[in-house]
Amino acid sequence: MEERSKLQKAVLISMAAMVVLFGVLMVAARFQKGVEFEGGLLRRTETEESVIYNGKVRGEQVEITVRAAGSGNLTEVDFRIGNRIQDDCTLETGLPPIQAEQLGPVEHIRITKNDILLFEGGYDPEYGMGWYDLDGNWDPFTMSVSYSSTAGDDYWEHYETDRGTILSFARGPQLVSRGSWELYFAMLLLSALLALDAAFPLVIFHWQHMCDVKDPEPSDFYLGMQRAGWCVYPFLILIGYIIALRVLP
């Protein structure tokens, strides 16, 4: 058997290490549940009086505190993003239903931010755009975008806490975890193919040409490009593993 070069051994070791390392990290990431917020993941902790979501998102420490107030129909949601954003918000429920067009009665809610009325009207949780004004007319623009930016902007500079975000945290957002098993297994397949190519350099070449040419032999150019691929592909696969580990659903 032909002795493998140092480059071949390095590729095989790196592929095996990535598979094991990122497999362990993926399992650990899937067990760490949190709440998605502006591309980051916030940890959820619960006390007797409140639920707190905190973590670092886009360079700023974020803390969102949710607590019941009053008779139980009022929920307070406080947003703290570094020293830059401090929004004290409320969600009020238990109001008389609103007759929405074509749907009939829907929940009547009132949302305030820093003691200023942000929204009052109907809401249907079964529809992502199910917002209605006080007269029951569908209001597709109620779900305003919390942030819009251009390349190079400071992400939080123009950030505005919107009513959809307030409502989501007041109701208890869905817990999610980082990591995509689909992308991980795709990288695993690419790792296996690269390891096969490094361990048996001529196998894939013969598979490609065995039906077309008798006793095919690779050219020096083919072998040179193959070695170049052994140097480049591990870094691309590493990037793929990192993306698979960090992606949010």
Domain parsing of the chain, residue ranges: 6-31+178-246, 35-171
Residues 6+ positions from 193 with CB-CB distance below 8 Å: none
Q: Which residue has the higher pLDDT, 32 or 90?
A: 90
**Directed axis angle between helix 181-199 and helix 220-246, to 10°?**
160
Contact present, 101 and 76 (Cβ < 8 Å):
no
**Residue 191 one-letter amino acid:** S
The tokens describing 81, both together, are 């993003």
Q: Which pLDDT score, from 0 to 100, does residue 141 have?
A: 60
Q: Which pLDDT score, from 0 to 100, does residue 30 have?
A: 87
- pTM surpassing 0.85? no
In sequence order, the β-bridge partners of residue 122 are: 108, 132
Q: Which pLDDT score, from 0 to 100, does residue 128 have?
A: 57
Q: Three-class SS of residue 153? A: coil
Percent of residues, the chain, with pLDDT higher than 70? 89
What torsion, rounded to 10 degrees, do the Cα atoms 111, 112, 116, 118 define? -40
Q: Which pLDDT score, from 0 to 100, does residue 108 have?
A: 92
pLDDT digits (tens, 9 = 90+) for 184-209: 999 999 999 999 988 888 877 777 66
User: Contacts by 48-52 with C-beta closer than 8 Å and gap 24+?
Assistant: 51/172
Q: Three-class SS of residue 126? A: coil
pLDDT level of residue 1 (50, 70, 90 thresholds):
very low
Q: Which pLDDT score, from 0 to 100, does residue 69 have?
A: 83
E strands, the chain, are: 35-37, 40-46, 50-57, 60-69, 74-81, 85-100, 104-113, 116-123, 131-132
